[in-house]
Amino acid sequence: MKQTKIRKVGILTGGGDCPGLNAVIRAVTKSAISNYGWEVFGIEDGYAGLIEKRGHELTQAHVSGILTIGGTILGTSNRADPFRVPVVKGKKVFYEDHSDRAIEHFRQWGLDVLVAVGGDGTLSIANKLCKKGIPVVGIPKTIDNDLMGTDYTFGFHTAVSICTEAIDRLHTTAAAHHRVMILEVMGRNAGWIALHSGSAGGADIILIPEFPYTMEAVCKTVKKRAQHGKKFSLIVVAEGAKERGGKVIEKKRDLKNPYPVKLGGVGKYLEEQIEKCTGLETRSASLGHIQRGGSPTPPDRNLGTLFGTYAVELIHHQKWGQMVCTQGSSVRSIPIERAVNKLKTVTPDDPLVRASEAVSISFGR
C-alpha cells in the first residue's frame, strides 16, 4: 500500500459495547489533533455508519470528560458487516456484499485511514477492508479477552471486577442460607472471565468451555464440601460451558446476527441438576449485560489510553493492517490477520488454572 499524507482519520467502534471504548476514542482524538494536527471523524454505530454514510467530526470538545463514561459516544452495532448485509426478500433473508459502497463513503468523507475498535468480528472485517485498499489500524476490544496476540483487551478487567463483586455478594447469601449458589457469566467460547473472577472470588467450582465438565464431578465436589461441614458452595460457570459429550445451552438463534447462536441458561440447568443430585437447595443468577456496562476500572481507562495513543503512532508511521496489543509490560502491534486467525482460549497449563487447582478449586473434570 503506497505512502500517503495523513490529514483525516476515521474511527469506529464495532461489536458489543464495552467499558473503555470512550477512553480509546478520547486518546485517538486528542493525540491525533494535538500531536499531528489531523482531523478526526467519528463513524456512527460501527460499520452500519460506514454502510449508510453516517458520521461526524470529532473535536477536543467532543471527547472532553468522556474518559470515565461507559459505552461509546459513537454508538455501535454487532450486526453490521459491509461484506454481509442482510436483505429480506419475502420470507427469506439473503446477504449482499456492500463493501464497495462502504469504501466509496470512506473516500467521499476524505478519510486517509480507518481506526477499527472491536473484537474478532470487527477486526476480521477491518482486515478484509485493508485487503481491498483501505489503510486500517485495529484496536482490540472485548470483555471476553479472547483475541490472539494480546495479553489483555480493554473491558476485560472491568468485567472481571463486576463479576468478582457479584461473587462476593453471593458468598454472603450462600453462607446465610446454606445454599449452593451459581453465577453464570459471559465469555462465549472462552473462559477467561469465569476463570479470573472465580479465582478472585474464591469460587469452589469454575466451569469453562475449554474443560467439559461432568455432573458427577460437580456433584461430588458439592457433596464432599457438605460432608466436611461446609454449609454452602459457590459455582462460577461461563455461558459456553458444556457437559462432556454434550452441547452448549442456547438461549435463542438470530440469523441476522454474525453470531447467530445466543448462549445462556447453563446456570439454570446446573441449578436443577445439582439440586436433584445432591438434595441441597441451589440457586442460580446470571449477570448478563451488567458485565459490559458502567464506568471502566482504572486499568481499562489506562489500557484504552495506551492503545489509542499507540494507534496514532502506527498511523504516523503508516503501519497498515496492524493491531495494537499488549505483551508483558510493552505495548506493540501485530498483523490483524494473526489476531483474528483463531480465538485465544484457556489452556490446562495456564498459571491461574494451576494455582486454582492447587487451592482445591474444581473445574468439574
With contact defined as beta carbons under 8 Å apart, do 179 and 282 qualify?
Answer: yes
354: left (phi over 0), alpha (psi -120 to 50) or beta: alpha
Rounded CA gap, 114 and 130, in Å? Answer: 9
At 191, list the grid cell.
473462559
The string of DSSP codes covering 233-256 is EEEEEETT--BTT--PPEEEE-TT
Half-sphere exposure of residue 128: CA atoms within 13 angstroms, side-chain side: 17
With contact defined as beta carbons under 8 Å apart, do 293 and 17 qualify?
Answer: yes
With contact defined as beta carbons under 8 Å apart, do 115 and 6 qualify?
Answer: no
The single residue of 17, 112, 120, 144 carrying the catalytic annotation is 144
At 253, list the grid cell.
438463534
What residues have CB less than 8 Å from 329, skipping those under 6 apart? Answer: none
Sheet holding 180-185, edge to edge: 205-207, 233-238, 180-185, 282-286
Helical packing angle, 156-177 and 298-316, nearest 10°: 160
Using CA of residue 114, residue 135, residue 339, residue 240, what is the dihedral sign? positive
Q: With H, G, I as helix, E, B as strand and everything else as coil, classify residue 185.
A: strand
Query: Is residue 168 among the annotated active site residues?
Result: no
How far, rounded to the nearest angstrom, does the alpha carbon of residue 124 sit from its chain's CA centroid?
Answer: 14
Q: With H, G, I as helix, E, B as strand and everything else as coil, classify residue 136.
A: strand
Residues for the chain: how many in total?
365
Per the DSSP assignment, residues forming a β-bridge with 64 are none
Residues labelled catalytic: 144
